[in-house]
Amino acid sequence: MSTVGEMIRKRRKILNFTQQELAGRLNISSQAVSKWENDVALPDLGLMPRLAQVLETTVDGLLGYQGAPLSKYDERYQREEFYWGLNPNQLCYDLMKLKPPARPYRVLEIGCGEGKDAVFLARCGYRVRAFDESQAGIDKAMLLAEKNGVHVDFFRANALDYHIEETYDIIYSSGFFDYIPDNMKEEFTAMLKKSTVAGGLNVLNAFVDKPFMKKKEGQQRTPWKSGELFTCYYDWLIHRCDEVIFDCNSGGVPHQHCMDVLIAQKQ
Ligand SMILES: C[S@@+](CC[C@H](N)C(=O)[O-])C[C@H]1O[C@@H](n2cnc3c(N)ncnc32)[C@H](O)[C@@H]1O
């Protein structure tokens, strides 16, 4: 497990702060930061919440406490290569056709993984906020944004207890929707609809349950019923509602998935 000093150094590097800049934000001397990072001293307890905020993490994270064990995504995202590759999802191009970035439209991405779609949209001129529950994914996404010379407001959050405060021109999510438990699906889509400005888009996909698909043991995913996602948007203008079945070879075992794809616009 990393020491507190190592965690501080790691977060500071990811955010591209010098020791002096970090010290400035905390109103302390850069020598104090240097002592922490070399494990010569620990930050005062009272300073920890502010330090965690400035380093865009949690006090638990700084103390190396991970709570639940690493998720399968954390493990995947900790590898050097990009698990989902670097090519943006086709849905990004679809949304651009409907709302080209003539203005810096505000986009929220939910379950952004390693950030490939968020970074692509930011490169195209959208103003993007994106989150995922995997810290490893967010760390990698931040580095990807930096490498591409764009700013994306990446942060770690659990979508199931995250309340969207602001409104957005576009809410986008790919591959996350079947992590929403059945009893939250309606409430969750209602929140997205409420958090979208008039004329704005929701661009979403969701895995759908089919009899020919075998459930994996202990699977946490709760696929949607065929067409269920579309019905949540009965009162919006539907630009796309497709149900697609496609082959997949993840895990080295050929199998199929079924996915509902929705692009809807608030009237
Ligand atoms: C299939 S991956 C898709 C990642 C990304 N959207 C992409 O297409 O590259 C699903 C993502 O949802 C995230 N996720 C699952 N449950 C979540 C939750 N409750 N809150 C936030 N993110 C979650 C996972 O960590 C994972 O990165």
In this predicted model, what pLDDT tens digit does every residue of 126-179 receive, in sequence order? 999 999 999 999 999 999 999 999 999 999 999 999 999 999 999 999 999 999
pLDDT score, position 62 = 87
Q: Report residue 1's pLDDT band, with 50, 70 and 90 as the boundaries.
A: low
Beta bridge partners of 168: 196
Q: How far is the CA of 26 from the centre of ligand 1 (A)?
A: 33
Burial class (CB in 10 A: 0-12, 13-18, 19+), 125: middle
Which residue has its alpha carbon closest to ligand 1 atom 13? Answer: 111
Contact 71, 11 (CB under 8 A): no
Which residue has its alpha carbon closest to ligand 1 atom 7? Answer: 113
In this predicted model, what pLDDT tens digit does every residue of 93-111 receive, in sequence order? 999 999 999 999 999 999 9
Which atom of ligand 1 is closest in space to residue 158's alpha carbon?
20
Burial class (CB in 10 A: 0-12, 13-18, 19+), 90: exposed
Burial class (CB in 10 A: 0-12, 13-18, 19+), 74: middle
Q: What is the mean pLDDT of the chain?
A: 93
Nearby residues of 181 by Cβ (< 8 Å), 6 or more positions away: 160, 222
In this predicted model, what pLDDT tens digit does every residue of 242-260 receive, in sequence order? 999 999 887 778 888 999 9
The architecture (CATH level 2) of 90-265 comes to: 3-Layer(aba) Sandwich (3.40)
Residue spans per domain, the chain? 4-62, 90-265
Beta sheet of 153-156, edge-to-edge order: 153-156, 127-132, 106-110, 168-173, 196-207, 255-265, 237-248
Which residue has its alpha carbon closest to ligand 1 atom 8? Answer: 174
Which atom of ligand 1 is closest in space to residue 113's alpha carbon?
27
Q: Token digits for 19?
A: 């020791």
pLDDT score, position 66 = 62
Task: Give the residue-averaged pLDDT of 6-18.
Answer: 86
Question: Which residue carries 């149900």 as its tokens?
Answer: 243
pLDDT score, position 14 = 76
Q: Token digits for 108?
A: 């929220």
In this predicted model, what pLDDT tens digit does every residue of 35-69 receive, in sequence order? 999 999 999 999 999 999 898 888 888 887 766 66
Task: Give the residue-averaged pLDDT of 110-132.
Answer: 98
How would DSSP label each residue in 151-168?
A: --EEEE--GGG----S-E
Q: What b-and-e string marks burial along 143-152, b requiring 16 or more CB atoms within 10 Å of the CB? A: bbbeeeebeb
Q: How far is the CA of 175 from the centre of ligand 1 (A)?
A: 6
Q: Is the pLDDT of residue 219 over 90?
A: no
pLDDT score, position 253 = 82
CA distance 161 to 131: 13
pLDDT score, position 137 = 97
Longest CA span, the chain: 63
The architecture (CATH level 2) of 4-62 comes to: Orthogonal Bundle (1.10)
Q: pTM here? A: 0.79
Provide the 10 A C-beta neighbour count for residue 44: 10
Task: Write out residues with Cβ below 6 Å of ligand 1.
Answer: 73, 84, 89, 111-113, 116, 132-134, 137, 158-160, 174-176, 179
Q: Token digits for 189?
A: 């889509």
Q: Is the pLDDT of residue 28 over 80?
A: yes
